[in-house]
Amino acid sequence: MTSSSGAILREPRLRINRHRRLCLSITAVLVALSVLGLVLSWLSPIKAPLKPGLDFTGGTSIQVERNCGDRCAELTVQQVQDALPAAAVVQLLDDGQAVSIRSSALSPADSGAFVDALEQVAGPLIATDTQINTIGPVLGKQLLTSSVLALTVSFAAVALYISARYARLYAALALLALAHDVLITSGLFAWLGLFAGVEVNSLFAVALLTLAGYSVNDTVVVFDRIREQQRLLPDLSVEDQVDRAVDGTLTRSIYTSLSTEIPILALILFGGASLQWFAVALFVGIAVGAWSSVAVVPPLLPLMGGRLPQRAATSGVVA
């Protein structure tokens, strides 16, 4: 008997279905809060489920570095806004050592006027570190469309793969887990957009695609364990098979998630402002994905009568 077979035959220490009501209740609360955040964002002046950044709306972004040695003189957002020749969104980065502004699309002359104004209020500046980026509204719409298309294609590919390898019910549950993970991560950023002005950009779309793949990987591990159990213990009920599968893969899921989250946490803390919210989206998404693969999909299987196709031990023909 292999160690894997021994683990399958062992009585599970954690029976996830005994905690089904608690797990699904927590999930329902998170989903409800996420939907509420998306709806409130849509009804707010943002006029969208998430606050779109420059990548999706188009406009001009200017970032300057202050040449002030070890410590920069105190500077406030209001001081910068008052000094600019036109309205713009202002952010102070790295404890005031850098200033970022975003506005509607500017001509080169207007961009120069903004930099001159920043020189007056926040200077001296490091000229070689000044960054000016302009994205037109057409390109912004193309980026948004491409991001949505990429996410849709990834969902379809996941459904085809799991349908071919397992069963349609399992594909439906995997898609449900993906939607759950994307919805809760997006809901968090809807609330951040409402209360902290956090915008989403193309990096946020990359984070959603990454967490989608990660979530499916964890879910497939549980599916594989159930399929192996059905071969060794065909008389077990679906509920017992699910409990054994979750118990047998829980340690692996925890270790894998933690080993992924630790470097992402370092990226949040030390990666700089440009990658901070991308890392936050990854951190939250992977945590939610680990939750869905253990506490959302498995408890739903017995409720839906889920059972993988059985294979005969001798002929290999699908029964």
Instruction: Indicate whether 310 belongs to any domain.
Output: no
What's the pLDDT at 307? Answer: 54
**Same domain as 158, residue 99:** no
* Spatial distance between the Cα atoms of 240 and 318, rounded to a whole number of angstroms: 22
Burial of 51 (0-12, 13-18, 19+ CB in 10 A): buried
Residue at a domain's end among 135, 150, 172: 135
- Distance of CA 313 to CAs 10, 91, 106, 162, Å? 22, 64, 70, 22
**Tens-place pLDDT, residues 248-269:** 888 888 888 899 999 999 999 8
**Same domain as 283, residue 153:** yes
**Same domain as 162, residue 243:** yes
**Same domain as 208, residue 92:** no
Q: Is 91 helix (H, G, I), strand (E, B) or coil?
A: strand
CATH number at residue 226: 1.20.1640.10
- Residue 70: which of 90, 96, 93, 101 has the closest Cα? 96
Instruction: Indicate whether 23 belongs to any domain.
Output: yes
**Same domain as 283, residue 147:** yes
**Same domain as 187, residue 98:** no
**Same domain as 192, residue 154:** yes
Q: Are 260 and 283 in contact (CB under 8 A)?
A: no
Residue at a domain's end among 91, 114, 135: 135
Output Rg (C-alpha) for the chain, integer angstroms: 25
CATH number at residue 97: 3.30.70.3220
**Same domain as 285, residue 185:** yes
Instruction: Indicate whether 113 belongs to any domain.
Output: yes
Residue at a domain's end among 135, 152, 173: 135
How far is C-alpha 300 from the chain's CA centre? 23
Number of domains observed in the structure of the chain: 2
Residue numbers in the chain where pLDDT is lower than 70: 1-12, 70, 136-140, 305-319
Q: What is the dihedral of CA 257, 154, 161, 222, to 10 degrees?
A: 20
Q: Domain range holding 117?
A: 59-135
Which residue type sits at 124?
P
Instruction: Indicate whether 312 belongs to any domain.
Output: no
**Same domain as 201, residue 108:** no
DSSP strand pairing (59-65 vs 98-103): antiparallel
**Same domain as 212, residue 235:** yes
Instruction: Indicate whether 222 belongs to any domain.
Output: yes
At 103, give phi and psi (nearest 5°).
-150, 180
**Same domain as 251, residue 114:** no
User: Residues 37, 42, 48, 52: is their CA dihedral positive or negative?
Assistant: negative
**Same domain as 291, residue 169:** yes
Please list, in sequence order, all residues whose beta carbon lies within 8 angstroms of the beta carbon of residue 235, skipping any fewer than 6 positions away.
none
pTM: 0.80
What's the pLDDT at 266? Answer: 92
